[in-house]
Amino acid sequence: MEGFLLAFMAVDIGGTFTDLVGYDPVDSRFFQAKSPTTPDDFSQGIVDCIDQSGLDLADVDVLIHGTTVAINTLIERTGAKTALLVTRGTRDVYIIGRGNRPQAYNLFFHRHRPLVSRRLTFELGERMQAGGDVLRPLDPAQVEACARTLAEEGVEAVAVCLLHAYANPTHEIEAGRILRRLLPDCFVSLSHEILRAYREYERISTTVVNAYVGPRVSGYLENLERRLKGIGYQGSIAIMQSNGGIMSPGTARRRPATMMESGPVGGIIASAEVGRALGFPNVIAFDMGGTTAKASLVCDSEPTHAEGYYVGGYASGDPVILPVIDVVEVGAGGGSIAWIDDVGALKVGPHSAGADPGPICYRRGGELPTITDANVALGRIGSDEFLGGRMQLDADAARHGVEDRLGRDLGMPVPAIADAILRIAVNKMSLAVREVSVAKGYDPRDFALVASGGAGPLHAVAIARELHIPTVIVPRFPAHFSALGMLMADERHDIARTFLATLADVDAADLIRIHDEMVSDARAMLRDTEDVAFLCSLDLRYVGQEFSIAVPVDRSMLAAARFADIRARFDALHERRYAHHAADEPVEMVNMRLAAVGQRPSLDLPVLAAPEGQAEAAHRPILLDDWEAPVDCPVYRRDTLPAGSAFDGPALVQEQASTTVLFDGDRCEVAGTGELIVTVGKSR
């Protein structure tokens, strides 16, 4: 690509495909590539995408990367042999966990399975008080003895989580110094470096998770840097975080727990930006890939954040109490397998055919019918146009697979089964959309649905009809949307400090001191300290409550001690979330939080040409509402649709790696920057 300056490139590794998007800042052009994910060596899929794209790496300044390595390591339980060091008397906190049982009537329910055994949990005789005063000093000889035992055990990672280290981390710092000196090849994770907030079980779990995935993530990043350097890349690398920001590889190695959801959040950032540009500040981001479908709420063009989540589900997953863009995920992706349970009912997911062998129609040895096979069997995905014609799909094999695996037991024809598979999948995905909207007090009818992922546009209009959402937006490059969102991400670091006091008794000077200390810590992590925004919030609750609400504040409010205004904001947020507030009840502060956002240059979405005549379409028979009555459906090529063109459903819009399905009564218009804006017809 002689004479071509490409400043940014982003790569997202998904469960089935690896996606690449490049951006040329000179003429605001985007470039894309897609290649099957290579589970044996994820970096190979990245190299394949780069080769396919034809990009000259000498022209690339920054590569932004999102990966599922960390979360897959945790879910698959393939992490490092890990030990845990705690304060004497707290050895069993991590193993006991919480006493809640969310599935009270599930006879097969199992509790959280610890990543560290009790045998590898060691106690130190030190003790810090809740206010940060030393009750018993740390004995270095105890730490040295533990280090010798860990070496004999062949431990690969150590988590250190001492009582009240969030208030005073000096004992943890000293223990970490000794461990790193005596165990130079061991990954050491100190709780105060990950999370300086109270709740012992959650703090221990987060620190353990960070240690457990640390060696594998570090090895992956080192291998990635080596592979990229080997093919001529000399630019910098940035890693996507779960909070929607990017970080340096060095920070990622120290805090790998922050990149658990680094892939999906890119699409949410892009959904917010596209919605804002089109005049839809409130959108629901919906991403359906090969393994899962994800939904997230965007209000006033800002993704919603949570202060932590459970990897593997609330019932028995691992709590990771780090800021994350709030995402609800269900096991319904294009590769999700359709199967029959013990009582003869048809089920879809959560198990996936993945990238290897993949759906039956991929002709890679897959034998189990998937959502993709159902779409191919109904004609909604063209057999000859998949991935722009680079990958031929076997429609006959898909139909035979559905019949052989499901038809004989269900006693139904193939089209009826394929239609049922998609209806079940749409129902599951609709529940995820409801969970991020209705369950949080928001009406989905007040939002637009932004559909992304290779399979998202296939099902988004059906989901919108189910929930009476009036508008669906299909962005440019929907199958590469997470990678596109990574190009739009700012650098971001989140810091929390526990500070427990009633709001009426808080000393403003103490808050200013903590705020400025957090700003100083954040600046040390930022790659570029220019053009930085510091967003502060206080976790507040009514006295006697267990959980808190994050209330946005700024430094001037803290310096002026405007606690009445802060209290009013809290009451309003409590009313919005829970439909009531208690104006006469005392309020207490639990934590102060700070987000340091290093703002990067924005991308200019290219404008399409104006329309010249009507958009032309080919036709093919597909099955939509009635599986017994094929529809002679117009099929539009997206790259031929000019800005301002419009057409009615039923219709298909095909592009390189995705297809948009419109039903009877829907109307699609092409925005000036190329997005498809679908006005959804009446619910079926």
Residue-averaged pLDDT of the chain: 89
Q: What is the pLDDT of residue 1?
A: 38
Q: What is the pLDDT of residue 611?
A: 57
**pLDDT tens digits for range 241-281:** 998 888 889 889 999 999 988 877 889 999 999 999 999 99
Q: What is the pLDDT of residue 5?
A: 45
Residue 551 has pLDDT above 80, yes or no: yes
The pairing of beta strand 236-240 with beta strand 60-66:
parallel
The pairing of beta strand 549-553 with beta strand 532-542:
antiparallel
Q: What is the pLDDT of residue 683?
A: 44
Per-residue pLDDT band at 609 (split at 50, 70, 90): low
For the segment 229-245, the average pLDDT, to the nearest whole number, is: 89
Residue 181's Cβ-count burial label (10 Å; 0-12, 13-18, 19+) is: exposed
Q: What is the pLDDT of residue 40?
A: 79
Q: What is the pLDDT of residue 3?
A: 40
CA separation for the pair 443, 202 (Å, rounded): 32
Q: Where are the alpha helices (DSSP H) in 406-552?
A: 408-410, 414-436, 456-467, 481-488, 508-525
Specify which of 349-358, 481-490, 548-557 reaches the highest per-range mean pLDDT.
548-557
Residue 684 has pLDDT above 50, yes or no: no
Residue 286 has pLDDT above 80, yes or no: yes
∠ CA 544-499-179 to the nearest 5 degrees? 120
Residue 547 has pLDDT above 70, yes or no: yes
Per-residue pLDDT band at 333 (split at 50, 70, 90): confident
Instruction: Go through 223-232 and write b for each residue having 16 or more CB atoms within 10 A of its CB, e for each that does not.
Output: ebeebbeeee
Which residues, in sequence order, are bridge partners of residue 416? Answer: none
Element (H, E) at 209: helix 200-230
Cis check for the bond before 184: say yes or no (omega within 30 of 0). Answer: no
For the segment 87-114, the average pLDDT, to the nearest whole number, is: 86
Query: Which of 68 and 648 is assigned the larger pLDDT?
Result: 648
For 233, the token pair is 């890349």
**pLDDT tens digits for range 562-586:** 999 999 999 999 998 888 999 899 9
CA separation for the pair 445, 424 (Å, rounded): 22
Q: What is the value of pTM for the model shown? A: 0.84
Query: Which of 10 and 657 is assigned the larger pLDDT?
Result: 10
Which residues, in sequence order, are bridge partners of residue 23? Answer: 8, 30
CA-only gyration radius of the chain, Å? 26
**pLDDT tens digits for range 507-526:** 999 999 999 999 998 888 88
Amino acid at 462: A
Q: What is the pLDDT of residue 364?
A: 85
For 27, the token pair is 């003429």
Contact criterion met (CB below 8 Å) for 272 and 261: no
Per-residue pLDDT band at 289 (split at 50, 70, 90): confident
Per-residue pLDDT band at 372 (split at 50, 70, 90): very high
Residue 77 has pLDDT above 60, yes or no: yes
**pLDDT tens digits for range 1-43:** 344 445 688 998 876 778 898 887 776 777 888 888 887 788 8
pLDDT above 90 as % of the chain = 54
For the segment 202-229, the average pLDDT, to the nearest whole number, is: 94
pLDDT above 70 as % of the chain = 96
